[in-house]
């Protein structure tokens, strides 16, 4: 029997161990608050990844509620399943949700919308699956220039690895413009849209772990693989150019603001 590790599952564990704690976990509570999730709610988490938001929702809805998480990536779902029993995990595309109309009391999604092939269609699907009057709540990063550290990382990648690598790191920030965001939700059929921009804090164990997670974890997901020599060169330079975000105990801490959009059909 082969004990080879599936690369998609390995990448998902790396995501859970590094990116979730450093960036994503802190948004679960405000997203669920905005969605009005409470005891007995039926909740759908779209682009659930390894399930940090769905697990938090499960704790709120209790035995009388139910939580479903969907994601297009089987590796993410394998990890979600192993650490989040009690949630229904389903492999599916956000643009074509496998649910009836009006099924959920709340539909939530954090930091996935920027990657969907048809964003308006995905929002339309989320609105369709929400019961009349239920909220659809989506979190996306604010613009790159309003985040700290990442503009420097992008610039470093542009200089050392070229535009494809730099663009892979720009993509998570492409929905930062609130006017365009509002227009996107209205185009998708939302009748009410409110946007709450919030302060967030990224916290990595070190500069090296942050940049290495992006170079070895994130860039390959976006179709960009760098060779080991280039990765080492970039990591050495990163220690210098990102030193202003290093705390006395060696952690890397910086502002990472996000928009929480609340919409109704
Ligand atoms: C940055 S992760 C966020 C995951 C999770 N929501 C969290 O907070 O940790 C983005 C997720 O979007 C998923 N994704 C990208 N395109 C998708 C699509 N078309 N349909 C469903 N999920 C998608 C990815 O597989 C990944 O798990």
1: in domain: no
226: in domain: yes
85: in domain: yes
What's residue 14's pLDDT?
85
What's residue 1's pLDDT?
45
Q: How far apart are CA 138 and CA 23, in angstroms?
A: 16
Find where tokens 């035995």 sit. 63
208: in domain: yes
| Ligand 1 mean position, distance from CA 115 (Å) | 7
Residue 133 has pLDDT above 90, yes or no: yes
211: in domain: yes
- Give the closest residue (by CA) to ligand 1 atom 15: 115
DSSP string, 43-107: EEEET-TT-HHHHHHHHHH-TT-EEEEEES-HHHHHHHHHH-TTSEEEE--TTS-SS-TT-EEEE
Residue 84 has pLDDT above 70, yes or no: yes
Domain limits for position 242: 7-264
What share of the chain in percent tops pLDDT 90?
Answer: 89
Q: What is the CATH number of the domain that holds 178?
A: 3.40.50.150
141: in domain: yes
2: in domain: no
pLDDT digit string, tens, across residues 138-173: 999 999 999 999 999 999 999 999 999 999 999 999
Cβ-based neighbours of 26, under 8 Å, separated by 6 or more: 200, 201
| Ligand 1 mean position, distance from CA 76 (Å) | 8
If phi over 0 gives left and psi between -120 and 50 gives alpha, with beta otherwise, what is residue 220? alpha
Q: Which atom of ligand 1 is the closest one to the Cα of 50?
A: 9
What share of the chain in percent tops pLDDT 70?
Answer: 99
Cβ-based neighbours of 34, under 8 Å, separated by 6 or more: 135, 137, 196, 260, 262
φ, ψ for residue 137, nearest 5 deg = -125, 125
Residue 2 binned pLDDT confidence (cut-offs 50, 70, 90): low
- Residue 120 CA: distances (Å) to CA of 46, 58, 183, 184, 249: 14, 28, 10, 6, 44
Q: Which of 132, 262, 120 is nearest to 189 (CA)?
A: 120
What's residue 216's pLDDT?
86
pTM score: 0.95
| Ligand 1 mean position, distance from CA 39 (Å) | 26
Q: Which of 97, 78, 173, 164 is nearest to 136 (CA)?
A: 97
Q: Based on the structure, what is the number of domains in the chain?
A: 1
């Amino acid at each position: 029997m082969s004990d080879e590790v599936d690369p998609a599952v390995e990448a998902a564990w790396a995501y859970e161990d590094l990116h979730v704690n450093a960036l994503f976990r802190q948004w679960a509570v405000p997203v669920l608050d905005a969605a009005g999730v409470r005891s007995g709610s039926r909740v759908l988490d779209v682009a659930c990844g390894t399930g940090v938001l769905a697990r938090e929702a499960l704790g709120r809805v209790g035995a009388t509620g139910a939580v479903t998480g969907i994601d297009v990536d089987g590796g993410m779902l394998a990890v979600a399943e192993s650490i989040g029993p009690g949630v229904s995990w389903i492999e599916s595309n956000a643009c074509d949700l496998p649910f009836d109309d009006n099924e959920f009391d709340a539909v939530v999604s954090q930091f996935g919308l920027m990657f969907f092939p048809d964003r308006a269609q995905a929002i339309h699907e989320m609105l369709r699956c929400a019961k009349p009057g239920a909220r659809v709540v989506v979190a996306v990063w604010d613009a790159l220039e309003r985040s700290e550290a990442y503009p420097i990382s992008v610039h470093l990648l542009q200089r050392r690895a070229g535009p494809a690598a730099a663009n892979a790191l720009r993509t998570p920030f492409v929905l930062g413009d609130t006017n365009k965001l509002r227009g996107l939700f209205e185009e998708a059929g939302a009748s009410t849209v409110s946007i709450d921009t919030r302060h967030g804090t990224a916290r990595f164990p070190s500069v090296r772990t942050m940049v290495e997670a992006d170079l070895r974890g994130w860039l390959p997901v976006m179709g960009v693989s760098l060779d080991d020599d280039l990765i080492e060169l970039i990591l050495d330079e990163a220690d210098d150019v990102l030193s202003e975000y290093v705390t006395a105990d060696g952690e890397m801490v910086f502002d990472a603001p996000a928009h929480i959009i609340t919409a109704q059909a």
